[in-house]
Each structure stands twice: as structure tokens, then as C-alpha cells.
Structure 1
């Protein structure tokens, strides 16, 4: 078998295969032997049917099986040998298949581009170095205490991060008919990372009972098709405002720690918290490094992703959003349903393709033993959220370890309180 691999651009490839007619003959013989063993034709005993009769009766079946076996066996071998990662359904064209002639066919497909390692050696990554300070533990204890909160109703003006319950209804035109929804209730945290800016800005300093109106034009990719590109009017009434309240006083918090760690020994509690602080620092360094690597890949990895791939992904995301939407109009207020997802998808593919190329280039694998070891050694407070994704986490960690050897590393010293505020507050 001969093959010619041609690359059109970063993604599009074509492999032309030329299979000698003698190979076709060999495959045909094998298929005929199988039929003789497994098929029965009236008037003949099993395994005694004439070859000519089998050929005439099962010609199309034999041809189909032979073609499929040859095509996929050869294609899969080239893909494995060349470490090619396919990202679409290959298109197969039969150029020639006839008696006494070589079998010629072509396969068109898209694959993840390979990376020139030399071109990424100049990428600089900031590696976090958390300076140790005696006040770190005190800050960490207060951070834990401040995260044990309840919500308390207030009569004050609305501020950032308050929990707000509103009553609202919307109006819009549908084929020159005014559509008005029933009044609905929606509760949300007033955070600009989650709520559209029109709501976030206009609701600040409002009080319980206040009524205001907003006009919003919904984007073309809005989940509910009937509201795409529609200009809607929203009437909003504030019916409740809640603010965070720390549950424990300092004395109550000490009692909580005694119960949690099952000891009243202050030294033991100190060493447990000190250990957890170190775990937290290591976790932050790991997360910060991952974020830095992702940021630099997205920024510097040039990739002209075909529009068709982006469109297909957008279609899939819209389908999922539509299923999730289920006529819940409160999604109008949520920022994620207003964002242009093209940019997000592009970044996602850049990361995925880059990581896959590194995995292929360095033959990175994750073993079952490594997964079990990770489960045993992972700190309890982080294990819950990642158990389902352990394989991917370990794979990404191995990729990052290799990248840190390739990239230029620049130390980034930072205090524990400062990095906690940057990443979590």
C-alpha cells in the first residue's frame, strides 16, 4: 500500500491511498472462506460451496466488506503512526475500484495542527511565589469564619453582592402583537460577573418597594428564539433585600473548630490549621500557574480555526441552552445568556488543540495507579469538586509540567492575603 499525505492549511488534510490489486484478491479470498464456513446454500454442505457460486451470490457483500476493511485499516494506521488527531467525520472518495487495477481512494479530513516546539520556547510564564508571613494564619482563619454566612433581610439601600428578590414582567412585540408575561419572582446576587450591567447598575441604591423600568435589546444568540434581537420592556419591583451576615462570633467559631477537629487542644488545632493553610497555598500556586499557562496559550498560539467548526459548536451550545432555558424568563437578567460566545468558543478550541498537540508530541498518558494515588493524596477540601475529572486533571498537570520546562519562567512574589483577594474575593 502506498499513500500520499497532503496538507492544505493548518487543519485540512488529504490522504490518497493506492492499494495493489493483489491485496484486493487476498482480502476477497479471506471473505469467501468466511462465507463458506458460516453460510448455507441449499444443495451444498457447509464449507463445500463452489467459489464461483459464492462470488456471484455474495459479490456486493464481499466488495463492501473488503472496501471498508482496507479503507479503515490503512487510514487508522496512518493516523496512529503520524499521531494525527481527527476533529471531524472524514470524507471518503473512491477514485478507482475495478478488476485487475489498483484500488485508489482518497480521504479528506480536518485534524489538530501540530506545534512547533521551538516557536513556543519564548513564551514567558509568571510562576507564583507566596511569601510567608506570621499573619497568614490569622488571615486564613478569618477567611474561613467569613465564609460561614447566612442571609439577613435589611431595609437599607441595595449594595454590591446583596441578595435581591424582585417581582417583574416583560412586554415585547411579536408579529405586531403586544405580548405581556405574567408577573414572576426572581432572586439573584447583585454581582456584575453574573447579572447584566443594565440591572446591576440600575438596582444599586434602590430600596424595598421601589419600582423601575428597563428597556433591553436581546442578542441574536439569545436562547429563546422568539426573543432573539427583540427589544423588551421590563417592569421591576424590589420585594426583598438581604445581606450577608457572619454566623459565628470569634468565640462561637472556636467552638465550631473544636467540634470540627474533635479536639479542644489549641496546639493541635493550630497545627491542623497550619497544615490546611499550606495546602491552600499549594492549591493557589497550582491554580495560578494553570491560569497563567492558559492565558499565554490563548494570547500567543496563532490558530485560524475553520468557521464551520465554530458554527457547529455554537449550534450545540444553543441547543443545550434552549433545553435548559425551558421558558424561564429570568434568564433575561443573567449575563451568560447575553455574551457573544464566538470568542469563548475560539479560546476553548485554542486550548484544547494546543494541549492535544502536546499530549501527542510527548506521548503523555495517565495510568490507573496514578489516578488511585491522586485520590489517596488529594486534600479533602478539594477532592469533592474534582473526583469526576481526575483523569483530565492529571493529564493537564503532566502537560503543564512539560510546558514549564519549555517556557521561560519568571517568579511572581505575592503575599497570601493579596493573592486570596485576587483569586477568590
Structure 2
């Protein structure tokens, strides 16, 4: 095999590869002979079809298959020989593929960049701590009750916190605008799901009442036509309902998997879950600081192929959150690359930087830490041991845990070299930080 390599620009490389004709033709001949043993053609017994006829009938397909395999195999052998690490799949351009001729093709691809790590000793990291108070637990229980609440129709004026069923029609300069009309729309007053002033205008209205309110669309509204525009909404209230919270009794507790025990047991269970979420949030705050500073301290050339792959991963994740899509749904038109490009670049850059930290510091995932993370995940299920066994029987799942543990170890490795300060915060400040 003959190989030559050149740098075209930045991370892009071009390999020109030549494979002797004997290698290709020999493999084609071998496969045709193997196929001839099992082929049935009218007029011939099984295994007795002349090779010439087999070649006429199946030669083109076998050649295409063999050439594809030879190109793939020889590309990676050449990359290994030239000590280059391809980032993503190569673009293959055949130069010579004729029967009896040496196979020659050009592979254009990007390589992984060299990452030179900056000094991390100047990093500043704040470690937060927080306690969970009885008030925090009570607030969480009230939130859980609201999630399980029902709505009961009432004959009174609507107040904040109520749910209303409304019809509305929006107009701008006397003309209706797209998306400004609905019938039987359900709205919780105080949810701030509508533009400013809309929900406030409904407070005090009773079922059957109609009213026209004036509002101003925000300057950052998604529709260019309505940004900062004055508008009117004709509103009719069909129904007013108030929220009914479930009682703190067994039927409510059972919805959260608690079959035995009363309010004290439920409070203890809620606190355990809150502690787990708090610990994860505290770790995430430290990790976020470390990752932000790693990005600032290390400039990395990003292979376009890796960024494109990451964009597709992020798009797929969002599509999964949408659920089932209609047949004519075009992901790239509804969810263009630009929506995900910034996040994708950040994730690729951090992956390359963290990978270099792992390599330079020879960090390996600790078995105890992996086990602990699996047990934490399993603790939220009815049969934790069954979940633990499943994770350890699935190599791909366990590899994901090992990757997460490795990232945590990288963070701790850097924190040990950084300037660390301590701060105390409340549960709400950690879990619901202000923008």
C-alpha cells in the first residue's frame, strides 16, 4: 500500500492511498468462488455453476462490496501508519477503480487538535454549602401537593391562582393578528405564561363576563410584527375554577410510592430526596466554575465534524422531548443548526480539554466512585439491587457512569490546585438561582 499525506488547512489532512490490484482482485475472486458453492441457476446443479457465469451475474455487486471494504480498511491502516487521529468520517474521492488496475483514492478529513493545557493554579472556585430547613421541606411538600391538585369550578370573581377558561381575540390597529385568537383556552392566573398585563386584566372577572384590555407586547417578543406594539384583547370568561390541594393522607403519599407510614415518614422521604438533589446541585456549581475557567484558559481548534455531530445529538435530544412528530416534520428547518451551534462548540471544546487533563494526569475512573454513583441512581427505584445488577451487566450503560465519574475526578483534580473559598447559601439559592 502506498500512502502520501498533506496538510490542506488547519486541522484538515489529505491522504492519497494506493492499493495493489492483486489485493482487490484476489479478494473478489475468493468471494465469487465462495458464492459459487451455494448459487442456484437454472440448468446447473448447486455448486456446479461456472465461475464465468457467476462473475457475469454477481461480479459488479461483489466488486462494489470489496472495494468499499478495502477503502475503509486501508484508510484506517494509512491513518495509523501516518500517526494521525481522524475526527469524524473522511470524504472519499476515488481516482482509479478499474478492473485489473491498482485502486487509488483520496481521503480528506480532519484530525484531533493538539491541546496544550494552561495553568490552572490561578483558578478561583467557590464551594457552597446549604442546609435543608423544616420550612424548605414544608415548601417542597406544598409544591408536590400543587402538582397533584385538582380544579373545582366556582361562582365568583377570578383571583390570582385560579384557573380560567377563556375566549380571546387580539387586534392591532383594529386588525386581528396571527396567533392572537383562541377559544376555550385554559389559563392559570399568576403563571405569567401570557404577555404582561393580560392575566392582570382577567383578575376580578366572573364567568360570562366580557372585557377588552389594552396591552403592550415586550420589545423582545418573538414576532417582529408585534415587538413593542400596542394591542387590544377582547376577552370572554367561560369558567372560573379554584385549586383544590390533596389532603396529607395515605392516598396522597401512595402517589409517591409510600405505602406505609404517615406525615412524618413522608417528610423524611421528601428530605432524603431533597438532600440528594441539593448535593448534585452543589457539585454542579463547582463543576460549572471549573469548566468555565478551563474554556477561558485553553483555546482549542474545533474539528467541524465533531461540532456537526454534537449539533445532531442536541437536536435529537430536543426532538425526543417534543415526542412524536408529524410525517412532514423537517428537523433541520424547525430546529436549525444555529440553535445548537454555541452549545455544541462548548461541549466539543470541553470534551477535548477534559480528555487532555485525563491523559496528562493519568486519571482513571475509581471503581468505588462508579459503584456509589450507580447505587445513587438505583436508590430511586423500587428494587435498587435489580437496577445495580442491570447497570453492571450493560457495558454501554456502565461506560456512561464511568465517564461521569471521570469528569467528577477531573473537577476535583483541578480544585485541589485552585484557590478555593467557602460560602453558605440557602436551599432555594442553590436550587433556584436568580437569573
Structure with the higher fraction of residues in helix conformation? 1
Cα deviation for residue 35 of structure 1 reads: 3.0
Q: 1:80-229 alignment to 2 at 5 Å? A: 84-86=86-88, 90-98=90-98, 101-109=101-109, 113-114=112-113, 116=115, 118-119=117-118, 121=120, 124=123, 126=125, 128-131=127-130, 136-147=132-143, 148-149=145-146, 150=149, 155=157, 166-170=166-170, 183-188=182-187, 195=193, 199-200=195-196, 203-204=199-200, 207-209=203-205, 210-213=211-214
For 2:315 and 2:130, the matched residues in 1 are separated by 47
Give the SS at the match of 2:28: helix
Is the contact between residue 155 and residue 208 of structure 1 (CA under 8 Å) also seen in structure 2? yes
User: Which residue number in structure 2 is paired with residue 417 of structure 1?
Assistant: 427
For 2:134 and 2:105, the matched residues in 1 are separated by 70
Is the contact between residue 257 and residue 269 of structure 1 (CA under 8 Å) also seen in structure 2? yes
Q: 1:231-242 alignment to 2 at 5 Å? A: 235-237=233-235, 239=237
Cα deviation for residue 282 of structure 1 reads: 1.9
For 1:345 and 1:309, the matched residues in 2 are separated by 10
User: Which residue number in structure 1 is paired with residue 410 of structure 2?
Assistant: 403
Q: Which residue of the other structure, out of 285, 290, 306, is the alignment partner of 1:288?
A: 285
Is the contact between residue 164 and residue 186 of structure 2 (CA under 8 Å) also seen in structure 1? yes
Cα deviation for residue 104 of structure 1 reads: 1.2
Length-normalised TM-score, structure 1? 0.62
Cα deviation for residue 30 of structure 1 reads: 1.9
For 1:265 and 1:178, the matched residues in 2 are separated by 51
User: Which residue number in structure 1 is paired with residue 208 of structure 2?
Assistant: none
For 1:126 and 1:242, the matched residues in 2 are separated by 49
For 1:345 and 1:63, the matched residues in 2 are separated by 41
For 1:188 and 1:263, the matched residues in 2 are separated by 36
Q: Which residue of the other structure, out of 272, 276, 279, is the alignment partner of 1:279?
A: 276
> How many equivalent residue pairs?
386
For 1:115 and 1:382, the matched residues in 2 are separated by 47
Alignment RMSD:
5.9
Cα deviation for residue 183 of structure 1 reads: 3.8
Length-normalised TM-score, structure 2? 0.61
User: Which residue number in structure 2 is paired with residue 60 of structure 1?
Assistant: 60
Could you list the per-position Cα deviations for residues 232-281 of structure 1 after superposition, in whole angstroms to 9, with x for gaps in the alignment? 96625273777878766xxx689988995844797x88876765554343
For 1:214 and 1:340, the matched residues in 2 are separated by 31
Closer, same or farther: CA 381–348 of 1 in aligned 2, 3 Å: farther
In structure 1, stretches of 5+ residues that fail to align are 223-227, 327-338
For 2:203 and 2:287, the matched residues in 1 are separated by 42
Q: 1:212-361 alignment to 2 at 5 Å? A: 212-213=213-214, 235-237=233-235, 239=237, 260=258, 262-263=260-261, 275=272, 278-292=275-289, 309=308, 344-354=339-349, 357=352
Cα deviation for residue 349 of structure 1 reads: 0.9
Could you list the per-position Cα deviations for residues 64-113 of structure 1 after superposition, in whole angstroms to 9, with x for gaps in the alignment? 12211112233456789966452x7x5321012245643111233567x5
Is the contact between residue 253 and residue 259 of structure 2 (CA under 8 Å) also seen in structure 1? yes
Give the SS at the match of 1:284: helix
For 2:345 and 2:423, the matched residues in 1 are separated by 29
Closer, same or farther: CA 264–182 of 1 in aligned 2, 3 Å: closer
In structure 2, stretches of 5+ residues that fail to align are 206-210, 328-333, 385-389
Q: 1:385-396 alignment to 2 at 5 Å? A: 394=401
Is the contact between residue 3 and residue 18 of structure 2 (CA under 8 Å) also seen in structure 1? yes
For 1:372 and 1:382, the matched residues in 2 are separated by 18
Cα deviation for residue 418 of structure 1 reads: 5.1
User: Which residue number in structure 1 is paired with residue 27 of structure 2?
Assistant: 27
For 1:20 and 1:272, the matched residues in 2 are separated by 70
For 2:259 and 2:371, the matched residues in 1 are separated by 28
Give the SS at the match of 2:203: coil
